[in-house]
A = this chain, B = another copy of it.
Amino acid sequence: MAHLTEDNSKILKRVRRLKGQLEGVEKMLAEGADCYAVLQNAAACRGAFNSLMRELILDHVEHHLVQSDEATDEIRETAQEIQDIVKSFLK
């Protein structure tokens, strides 16, 4: 329900790309690849994970606070401050 339908395709794309990266790591492990190469490929997923979390949180705040009919100007301002903090933590 809720807001996700609108942004679904963008977020779904992120989840699928991340799953693809993980499948690459899985294949390397199954084939006995060099351990540091595995480590590097796994580390590369970390940015994708952080971006996914950032988008999910920002969307949640956007739809349930910033764009809520029930939000006043002050509520909206605080919501945007929270979004800025999230962006600085998960960039």
Contacts and interface: CB of A to CB of B under 8 A. Distances in A.
Instruction: Indicate the size class of the contact surface on chain A.
Output: 35 or more
Contact of A1 (B5, B35, B53): B35
Q: Work out how many copies of this chain go into the complex.
A: 4
Contacts of A57: 39, 82, 85
Nearest to A77: B64
Given A34-B2, A49-B49, A70-B72, A88 B26 contact: no
Interface string A51-65: 011001101110111
Given A36-B81, A49-B49, 8 more contacts: A1-B34, A8-B29, A15-B22, A43-B89, A45-B49, A47-B88, A75-B75, A82-B82
